[in-house]
Amino acid sequence: MLIADCASFQVPARRFSNRSASGLLPSVPVLLGLLIGVGTAYAQSLPAGWSARGENRGVTFSPKDIGAGEVFEVWVAPRSQLQPGVNLQSQLSRIRQQAGATQGSNCGLVQLQSSGTVEQMCSADGAALQYMLMPVREGNEAQLVRLRAKGGDALARHLDGFKKTLNIALQGNASALLRGGGTSETPVGYSAPIKSPAPKDYKAIAKAIRANPGQGVADRQIDGIYVTWENAPIYGSGMSQIQHTTWLLLTDGTAYRGLKFPPDELNVDASRQLQPKYWTQWRGGGGRYEVRANGGAWKPLKGGWLVKPASDGTRLNGSWKNYNMSGSTFTGLNTSTSAWTFFPDGRFEISGYTTAGTGSLQATNGHVSGATGISNSRGSRTSTFVSGERDSDSGPIAAGGVNRRSNNGAANTGRYRIKGWVMELQRDNGLVERRLVTFPGDGVDMNGLAYLRVKR
């Protein structure tokens, strides 16, 4: 559950005007749903086509194919200790001084975002500088990041890589990448030879570990399934949401962490080879378990439930919702709500609501865009808008929006059947799918995502 009211989401407006810097940031086209939202595996590797170098006790990331006269660099400082009792906005100047990040003149006001991130715009040598000070998970530290941009459309061309570098910074992996040589798309600490597919080919790995239904883990090989939960922070947003992790406990004393599909579809041999970090040893019973990796210390699985397989033909009656938010106020936020209603006659209906919008980086350059989407048994509709401005000698850019409707409501209704760890869905549009289903507390987890019961 988000510790925020999703309905209050708003696209950030332009809030800093500096003609000496404005227009030197990369020219950005209409960008919807600019989200960090990448997995931690990406936060352990350089984006393809990027390089890393040591600079001023920190690490500077930049794309290799930058054009003549262009500059696009992301500098990540060492983590900084926060002063207790002093707000983050007041600490930016001190932390910049300590990090040696004094570049920039004609700076704008220090802005404290609703996400908890502090930002400040400056200019130096014809380039725009944006300083960001972001709280990190530990709570007593903050991460200073500086974006330096000049000319061209580098941001538009390298947006995906830019978002990955922010995740590298927030995960604390910048220095580790540099020590590892800064090899593009090479996971930190990777040394064991893994056969095809390559380590970076996550889609191929996901396909390789998936067996046909009934050809994976048999019920007799399962000792139990345990679901843990945590109130996980959404990096760069200052918010958090409930996150569940599903542990598959096998009778041979090993456990698979993060199961997201039915266990009878898990190819154990392929997964052990391609996903060694997902496997641990386990011990315990009666709802109290410990795990350890690579012969290390035993650690308890805290805050969770031992879930039992459902009997064949189990019926549900009620609604359950999943709330999700990803991204950053700097590059853009999106939110989504998915609600499933199950009826005792075996029918189900799905409804959803999504929002996406640009962040402060685009707003500073005069661009604001966003999108909303609604889907239910009647179909789906989306609305998008864009507005912005340029310097007078460049001419204005268009402002407006687009609305689309689709009569695809049959994808959101159908019949369900539950047996063991599997929910089989037969949608009214003909699509049939199988999902992992567990029942922690009064919730419903599908494919590892937590759906909380809607109180009537």
Whether 366 shows a pLDDT value over 60: the answer reads: no
The strand pair at 347-358 and 413-419 is best described as: antiparallel
Whether 329 shows a pLDDT value over 50: the answer reads: yes
Angle at 239 between CA 48 and CA 116, to 5 degrees: 85
| Residues 169-210: tens digit of each pLDDT | 877 777 777 665 443 333 322 223 334 444 457 788 999 999
The mean per-residue pLDDT over the stretch 373-383 comes to 89
More confident residue, 397 or 19: 397
| Side chain identity at residue 145, one-letter code | V
Of the candidates 132, 163, 126, the one whose C-alpha atom is nearest the C-alpha of residue 145 is: 132
Whether 231 shows a pLDDT value over 60: the answer reads: yes
pLDDT at 146: 92
Q: How far is CA 2 from CA 37, 194, 240, 291, 325, in A?
A: 15, 38, 6, 29, 8
Question: If phi over 0 gives left and psi between -120 and 50 gives alpha, with beta otherwise, what is residue 352?
Answer: beta
Whether 388 shows a pLDDT value over 80: the answer reads: no
Whether 10 shows a pLDDT value over 60: the answer reads: no
Highest mean pLDDT: which range of 42-56, 87-101, 225-239, 263-277? 263-277
pLDDT at 167: 80
Residue 439 pLDDT grade (very low, low, confident, very high; cuts 50, 70, 90): very high
Q: How far is CA 307 from CA 112, 231, 304, 310, 450, in A?
A: 43, 20, 9, 9, 13
Look-up of token digits 């926060």: 82
Highest mean pLDDT: which range of 115-129, 230-244, 263-277? 263-277
| Residues 298-324: tens digit of each pLDDT | 999 988 889 999 999 999 999 999 988
| Residues 246-262: tens digit of each pLDDT | 999 999 999 999 999 99
pLDDT at 115: 60
pLDDT at 447: 94
Whether 396 shows a pLDDT value over 50: the answer reads: no
| Residues 115-127: tens digit of each pLDDT | 667 888 888 887 8
Are 13 and 364 in contact by the 8 Å Cβ rule? The answer is: no
Three-state secondary structure call for residue 333? strand
The mean per-residue pLDDT over the stretch 9-16 comes to 31
- Taking the whole predicted model, whether its pTM rises above 0.85 is answered as no
| Residues 40-68: tens digit of each pLDDT | 444 457 888 888 888 888 899 999 888 77
| Side chain identity at residue 227, one-letter code | V
Residue 436 pLDDT grade (very low, low, confident, very high; cuts 50, 70, 90): very high
pLDDT at 361: 53
Whether 80 shows a pLDDT value over 50: the answer reads: yes
pLDDT at 232: 67
Whether 412 shows a pLDDT value over 50: the answer reads: yes
